[in-house]
Chains A and B, each alone.
Chain A
Amino acid sequence: MLTKRDRNLYDRQIMIPEIGEKGQERLNQAKVLIAGVGGLGSPTAFYLAAAGIGTIRLVDYDVVDISNLNRQILHWDGDIGREKVDSALEKLSRLNPSINIEPVREKIREDNLSRIVEGCNLIVDAMDNFNVRYLLNRSAVDHQIPLFHGAVRGFEGRAMTILPGQTACLMCMYRGPVPEEKSPVIGVTPAVIGAIQATEVIKFLTGVGQLLTNRILLFDGIDMTFKEFRINRNPHCMHCGNIKGKE
């Protein structure tokens, strides 16, 4: 049930017919895992917190570095040297004290991910490397919960939503390991993609609209274009090839 404060706080989005009080209640009851509290994780977490997601679990093992500040807008100059999840916890709690923030100071590994994901309705991929992205993908498939993929480089970004067992996953187009790199990036790119990921999460939780499934959205800030391409589920996929999703 929404409180009087909830009705005031979320008034403008409750006014949206596709959300309404029922949708807001769903947001308030949701538990979301955001993997990575950097360039993508910052805007995603800000908007999901502002929208009233009941519990946001943040996982990141890193500390804030001065070179993060051009894009990781949860972290400010005074946070340099601080744990990212602590910095994020403080900002998000100040933004919306009525939600729960669960900081997890761990590096995501194969042997701890199941515990980290436990109890969450979905995973937001806000990572900076494909090794962990594939772990998240595997975990989403195993737990049968959606994965909201985002990635950026320079002025380019991409986003895709994965409903395991129903739609194409990250591994469906696997073409070999992707080397880790220090990606060039301007802060507006993860801002755009993170906002798209947050939009998809809100749509999924409230059950409205067409999700970005079986298609990938590419953002090109240089040409200022969005392009969409169809992706096919791979029946031989190493992660989702043998499973059927919830009907």
Chain B
Amino acid sequence: MGIKVHVHQSHVQYTNGERIIEVEGHTVGACLKNIAVKYPEFGKQIFEKQGKLNHLFEIYVNGESAYPKELEKEIKDGDDVYITRLLSGG
């Protein structure tokens, strides 16, 4: 049993249509990097230069915000990671 990463709708085009990706890793950052290895285009979207999290996206782990050090957030098998997008329209 790994960690379930719920990919944002706008990223599904980069993950071969997968919305939920099961992955290994001890931190959120490690999990996202592992997904980026399999889906490099996803990595380009989710990470900014220097490997920072794209600031238009938010991370929630087990229903709670992982802010402010999202990528360093420690996680374990069975955890749920949600990627959401900051919305600005009105």
Contact = CB atoms under 8 A, between A and B. Distances in A.
Q: Chain A interface: which size bin?
A: 35 or more
A126 B90 contact: yes
Interface stretch (A32-40, A94-102, A238-246): A32-40
A156 B85 contact: yes
Contacts of A158: 87
B17 interface: no
B65 A185 contact: no
Contact of B64 (A190, A230, A234): A230
Contacts of A230: 63-65
Contact of B9 (A129, A156, A178): A156
Interface stretch (A4-12, A115-123, A147-155): A147-155
Contact of A153 (B53, B60, B82, B88): B88
Interface string A205-241: 0000000000000101010000111111010000000
Interface residues of B, number: 19
A176 B90 contact: no
A41 interface: yes
Contacts of A41: 90
19 contacts: A36-B90, A128-B90, A129-B90, A130-B88, A133-B88, A151-B88, A156-B9, A156-B85, A172-B67, A175-B53, A176-B55, A183-B89, A190-B89, A218-B84, A220-B9, A228-B63, A229-B82, A232-B67, A234-B68
Interface of A: 36, 38-41, 125-130, 133, 150-154, 156-158, 172-173, 175-176, 178, 180-181, 183-185, 190, 218, 220, 222, 227-232, 234
Given A175-B68, A183-B88, A220-B9, 14 more contacts: A39-B90, A152-B89, A152-B90, A153-B87, A154-B9, A173-B65, A175-B55, A176-B55, A183-B87, A183-B89, A218-B84, A230-B63, A232-B67, A234-B68
